[in-house]
Chains A and B, each alone.
Chain A
Amino acid sequence: MLRSDPLKITIDGIETEVEKETTILQLAKKLGIEIPTLCHHDAISTYGACRVCTVEVGIPRSGGGKRTRMVTACNYPIRDNGLNINTKSERVLAVRKMILELLLARCPGVKRIQDMAKEYEITESRFPIENPEEECILCGLCTRVCQEIIGKSAISLVGRGFERKVLTPFDEPSEDCIACGACAYVCPTGAIKIVQEDGKLTIKNWKTSRELAKCLECGEYVGSEAVLQYIKERVSLPEDIFKLCEKCRRKKLQKELITTGK
């Protein structure tokens, strides 16, 4: 396919040119326009679950004029010349407020959502709180990082509607999970709990524990044994990396450098 000419569009009153298929979010980032997101991560496929990135677009009609639509910036690819995007219109703010109120009702205790809501002058939701402990917004970032980046697919979104949850198969300890913690790292709400006790790393949500490996030199924990094993299988790295902690590795390297006199 021929590379198409850049498209001329307007975003928040700024006229600019943009490569076709760029998402609104990508463009906004480039221009320093801030759009809130929860379920988006640059390294993970988009899913459009949280809706807080909603913006307004005016799409030119063939017969002239524009039709206005509310779209999610993270997964809306720019394809039309003359698109007029507004990330802060009154309508956008109203929609975002509503979404944040709904999210706040689902996860009333989550700091990130509280803060986000506060920015839109919302401190309380008018919707009923079903479960004050709930912390998961079902954005699916954890399931996607596990599948796309780690390559394990240990967890998935299970069930429909208000019964939907992230679970391991049968809600039992997972054989696939290596306790790498990537899920907890990407989770926007801190819903995934990892604890370290008795030489083990346990991801509470997935009911899964993995042994921790110790540094051969100092005895500090290096990380989940299963993770080290997994990395070992995939990339060739010097054996040391898997046996020593970061500090001891550096010390050893220093010593080697000094004794070889380089």
Chain B
Amino acid sequence: MLRSDPIKVKEILKHYKYEQSSLIHILQDIQVEYRYLPKETMLFVARELKIPLSRIYSVANFYNAFSLKPKGKHLISVCLGTACHVRGGKRIAEEVERTLNVKSGETTPDLEFTLETVNCLGACALGPVVVVDGHYYGQMTSLKMKKLLSSSKGGRGNGKNEKDNKS
């Protein structure tokens, strides 16, 4: 389990010059660093920025990008937007749920995978679409999904689905 290290958080705070108005950026960076917002980092940020903890808690709960529970090393987003849905996205999601024994929004106990379902990733022509650690996989089938899961396991991953994760 990751322990939050105040030095890292201090660096992040310094980078944003301890600006109260940068709260969201700061929380985003903490989220990337730890793959969630550890409670003690929120307490720390509240103290350092002199922002009420209640406001930080409110912000952390408002945006989907923040998680209060540790997320897995690999983030799997299965698209259930209209186009992907009619092309069988639901079946792919169920395949992942079965294989990993988690529900959408949950993380495997070994902190390897987090599963989430999303509504349209803007690549409908490729549907059903799955994004794993920022890589788009189109025309997914249950079989392909299975293979993808076993090849991802153990790999590095970054726990976020951002396109900047080029390889």
Residues of A within 8 A of B (CB): 143, 147, 152-160, 167-170, 174, 176
Nearest-CB residue, chain B, relative to A146: B54
Contact in complex: B52, A158 (CB < 8 Å):
no
Nearest-CB residue, chain A, relative to B51: A153
Contact in complex: B54, A155 (CB < 8 Å):
yes
Cα separation A83 to B61 with both chains bound (whole Å): 41
B3 at the interface (CB under 8 A from A): no
Cα separation A143 to B58 with both chains bound (whole Å): 11
Q: What DSSP secondary structure best describes chain B's contact surface?
A: helix
The proximity string for B residues 40-60 relative to A, scoring 1 for CB distances below 8 Å and 0 otherwise, is 001000000000111111100
Q: Which B residues are in CB contact (< 8 Å) with A156? A: 52, 54-55, 57-58
> Which one, B39, B42, B58, contacts A158 given CB within 8 A?
B58
Q: Which B residues are in CB contact (< 8 Å) with A168? A: 54
Pairs A–B under 8 Å by Cβ, sample size 29: A143-B54, A152-B52, A153-B52, A153-B54, A153-B55, A154-B52, A154-B54, A155-B54, A156-B54, A156-B55, A158-B58, A158-B61, A158-B62, A159-B61, A159-B62, A160-B61, A160-B62, A167-B57, A168-B54, A169-B42, A169-B53, A169-B54, A169-B56, A169-B57, A170-B39, A170-B57, A174-B54, A176-B53, A176-B54
* Known A-B contacts A158-B57, A160-B62; A147 and B52 likewise in contact (beta carbons under 8 Å): yes
Q: Which A residues are in CB contact (< 8 Å) with B61? A: 158-160
Interface centre among A147, A157, A167, A170 (most CB of B within 10 A): A170
| Closest Cβ–Cβ distance, residue A62 to chain B (whole Å) | 37
Interface centre among A147, A158, A160 (most CB of B within 10 A): A158
| Closest Cβ–Cβ distance, residue A183 to chain B (whole Å) | 12
Nearest-CB residue, chain B, relative to A159: B61
Q: Which B residues are in CB contact (< 8 Å) with A174? A: 54
Q: Which A residues are in CB contact (< 8 Å) with B55? A: 153, 156
Q: Which A residues are in CB contact (< 8 Å) with B52? A: 147, 152-154, 156, 176
